[in-house]
Structure 1
């Protein structure tokens, strides 16, 4: 059975992300780099370009180039580092595999004006924290709007230690409210802003100046491997100084195609390979503990469904090393066409990439996967569908049953029908599995990890930490935090979760940080990657 997904705006109508795949910008030829923008230095071109951008690009890239959903930002990263000519070349040519259509039909002058506007976004984002303060003042009215009806919440009630428990009985009817398009404006971190953890924990800035830092995984020797997704890089952060910074940051591999998932094989203390899940493939590099750079070119193991708005693929191995698991999100928001084959699934394969089968289906976008060290079960962190209202459908974290069906696109959570797929597959209603932990709707739950170290108090042992990237399509903004799911030293969830790390939201319109990845450092502290500020934060226990 196959299911599909896609944000409710087709990427063929929008301008998707500009992600670096090689040393040049999307393999742009040298001749493109040398082409000059005829509107460079002409301020009057910027508002004209903004108007074209608003008609063609804003739904994917956001009102200020901050990126929507999994679409990387234009206001920072490779799009700003590329020349005007390279960006113009890419807009004109497109890249269907990355979900980027060709905009050659736009008049040439309009394409150049869009380039001028995109480049102006980098200048405005680089301004001081005044932008954050201004945004805070500008949205006072929006921030004082009535809060959502419990148990649903928004950023104003997210505080470390606050418990939440949502059940299927709490779900509203479809279309009980409108469906917003409200991507956040990413601003510089205000001077007085800092992530907030429970009082017995300390939060430090571990690393900064990173390009789109996303998933992190710890190697057996303690090195932290980081995917800089839009840049196509894997970096290593080694050690912790007495000041709480990495002793060394090293580029391990580059030229990858939207890398996200990272895994070491075989499991245990002496891996021989490092696997990387790109948007369109799984590759591996020979690896020995302590390697700081890749050993040769990547070995291609298998192709994955490419494009669409869900492009993050995670990869993990069963504890016995016999099977590899790869998560692939749907192409569309709600769809069941053949394009959704092997999407909205967790796939199972042999470690060499052979023997593909669907392990579990109907999981719209299982961004993060991990094995529970207590039970040996596979778990996932999932982004559910859009377009049914502010409070539908909630994201979730759950253990994944072999052969399990989780509803997408025809059903959701306990056999609720999606009215947009009315009458389809009634035989599946009673097979829909209700997830273990229901999160706030549209939280955008990304990487998850099980805490297995000793620095945190004993009651944290075996619990889940998950990064909530934050909503772009909910009128009361939610997410932008790290949550803790208590497993009660049993390996099993009972439905509740709590806020653990908050403080990334300026106001209803603006945020300065967006958590993506979670991993534990060799000393047992928790690391959180933040692609809003290009940083990694370190949370350590200081005692009560």
Structure 2
């Protein structure tokens, strides 16, 4: 399976924009590059608890810096490398030796389900022992087509199905609380477009009446007006639970990888990978609540009334209709899974906050992302635009990468579980007081 980053590097090269190489480590063994200009940053300055905020006014002009091809150089995790969390938190290795663990979701009975995308299977983890590891691990189902999204239906205490977002379809497997193996074969409900961005997250509205499906673009900035393959992509689609009555819930969202429902308000939120090759600090990825019928700009505009120069003059009628997202994240962080913290273990100020996994992208000279962030909401229904570094340390001083966060879930004991497809692991973050 071709990874999305590979496709985008190829697209950039074919468009005549030659990706540059990143600056190598210095003689000291550390990555050597000028310090970033705030509010922008990179892996060297990520620190648990540091608060950041990017606003539309902070954005540079397109091509202020050149596009850079800087895919991660992956290495095995060194013995002394470990994720770093704020004071009072403990990080443990929950599971290892997994094959491409991606989306992670908690079942109503507390079991943890994880999609191993490249392996085409779903694992289920039960319990947390005194050693911080699962007490039982099983393969729930296999033979799936690059599964990513996981959703239990109907919402509530007694689900009947596990819905799975395969890369080319939404399927469902019969499920009851406590099942460690699927009760039957998968049933296909919806065909989805394939190629390009391949993740397909799925989630139900709080009342169970609507099935949301995230479908990213096939390309970086191809115009849907002239590229048929982009139609019904870069959208969040909505269906009936049986797969009928497809509609576009929101559009112009380049790659909505993660979906989540605010447990208090019932609002849909998403985590977005924005476009590449406009420079190191364009375009910010983002996290936002999603307005039904809303348009978020791709491919003609971004972050409000900023036109992509590759589509200059197109669709001027949309200029004042683009919704500015709630939280702008460091450009090229590759924001993936997100979850609302509904546990009781963390300090009270964490209640209702968002945790999101930043996978790290290829289009920035000094790496950004490769961390888990916290979006504080201060007890409100919205976000103020700020976020905090929460779990860092996945990039070594020389710029090599050993871990890449993908999905986040809150375990039944209130700890946070993070999938890492770089090291094939799941990390557990618990609070033990300073």
> Which residue of 2 is the match for residue 331 of structure 1?
218
What CA distance in whole angstroms lies between the structure 2 residues aligned with 1:139 and 1:467?
Answer: 32
**2:250 aligned residue:** 360
Query: Which residue in the other structure is 1:244 paired with?
Result: 132
Q: CA 1:140/1:352 → structure 2, altered by over 3 Å: closer, same or farther?
A: farther
1:471: how far off? 2.2
Aligned to 1:320: 207
Q: Can you list the C-alpha shifts for 1:306-337, whole angstroms capped at 9, x where unaligned?
A: 111x1001000000000000000000000121
The alignment partner of 1:539 has SS state of: strand
Contact 1:334/1:409 (8 A) holds in 2: yes
Deviations 1:346-390 (A, max 9, x none): 001000000000000000000001011122110000000001000
User: What is aligned with 2:110?
Assistant: 222
Partner of 2:281 in structure 1?
391
**313-322 or 371-380: which moved more?**
371-380
Give the whole-Å Cα distance in 1 for the aligned partners of 2:268 and 2:423. 31
1:167 paired to 2:167: no
Match of 1:421 in 2: 311
* Among 150, 156, 169, the residue aligned to 1:281: 169
Q: For the Cα contact (< 8 Å) 1:443–1:479, is it kept in 2?
A: yes
Q: Distance in 2 between matches of 1:301 and 1:294?
A: 17
C-alpha deviation, 1:12, in angstroms: 12
Q: Distance in 1 between matches of 2:342 and 2:314?
A: 43
User: Contact between 1:477 and 1:508, CA under 8 Å: does it hold in 2?
Assistant: no
Q: Secondary structure at the match of 1:300?
A: strand
CA shift, 1:508, in A, is: 4.7
Paired position in structure 1 for 2:10: 9
CA 1:453 to 1:302, structure 2 compared with 1: closer, same or farther past 3 Å? same
* C-alpha distance in 1 between matches for 2:274 and 2:25: 32
> What's the secondary structure of 1:390's corresponding residue?
coil
Question: Which of the pair is proportionally richer in strand?
Answer: 2
Q: 2:198 maps to which residue? A: 311
Instruction: Give the counterpart of 1:437 among 303, 327, 334.
Output: 327
1:513 corresponds to which of 390, 400, 403: 403
**Residue 382 (1) aligns with residue 272 (2):** yes
Return the alpha-carbon distance in structure 2 between the equivalents of residues 426 and 262 of structure 1. 38
**Equivalent-residue separation in structure 2 for 1:139 and 1:316 (angstroms):** 49
Shift of 1:509: 3.3
Instruction: Confirm or deny: 8 A CA contact 1:347 1:358 kept in the other structure.
Output: yes
Query: Which one of 67, 87, 95 corresponds to residue 199 of structure 1?
Result: 87
1:473 CA drift (Å): 1.2
1:212–1:230 CA contact under 8 A, matched in 2: yes
Q: Tell me the equivalent position of 1:404.
A: 294
Q: Give how far 1:9 is off.
A: 2.4
CA deviation vs aligned residue, 1:94-134 (integer Å, no higher than 9, x gap):
xxxxxxxxxxxxxxxxxxxxxxxxxxxxxxxxxxxxxxxxx
| TM-score (structure 2 length as normaliser) | 0.94
Deviation per CA, 1:435-474: give whole Å up to 9, x if none.
Answer: 0000000000000000001011110000000000012110
TM score, norm. by length of structure 1: 0.75
For structure 1, the residue ranges without an aligned partner over 5 or more in a row are 14-58, 64-135
Q: Which residue of 44, 59, 70 corresponds with 1:156?
A: 44
Larger Rg belongs to = 1
Pick closer, same or farther for the CA change 1:138–1:236 going to 2, 3 Å.
farther
- Match of residue 84 from structure 1: none
Is 1:499 the counterpart of 2:392? The answer is no
Which runs of structure 2 are paired with 1:89-104 in the superposition (5 Å)?
none
Q: What secondary structure is seen at the aligned counterpart in 2 of 1:510?
A: coil
Instruction: Spell out, residue by residue over 1:63-115, the C-alpha distance to the aligned partner (whole angstroms, 9 max, x if none).
Output: 9xxxxxxxxxxxxxxxxxxxxxxxxxxxxxxxxxxxxxxxxxxxxxxxxxxxx
Matched pairs, number: 420
Whose helix proportion is higher, 1 or 2?
1
- 2:93 touches 2:425 (CA, 8 Å); kept in 1? yes
Task: Tell me whether 1:264 sits opposite 2:152 in the alignment.
Answer: yes
How far the C-alpha of 1:159 sits from its partner, in A, is: 0.3
Partner of 1:144: 32
Q: Distance in 2 between matches of 1:155 and 1:208?
A: 24
Instruction: State the Cα distance separating 1:144 from its structure 2 match.
Output: 2.9
Aligned to 1:479: 369
Residues 1:469 and 1:192: Cα distance change in structure 2 (over 3 Å):
same
- Match for residue 179 of structure 1 among 44, 63, 67: 67
Which residue of structure 2 aligns with residue 457 of structure 1?
347
List structure 1 runs of 4+ shifted beyond 3 angstroms: 10-13, 136-142
- Aligned equivalents of 1:518 and 1:287: distance in 2? 22
Counterpart secondary structure, 2:8: coil
Q: Given the superposition, is the C-alpha separation of residues 475 and 11 from structure 1 closer, same or farther in structure 2, using an over 3 Å criterion?
A: closer
Counterpart contact for 1:384–1:393, Cα < 8 Å? yes
- Residue aligned with 1:376, SS: coil
Deviation, structure 1 residue 499: 0.2
Matched, 1:537 2:424: no
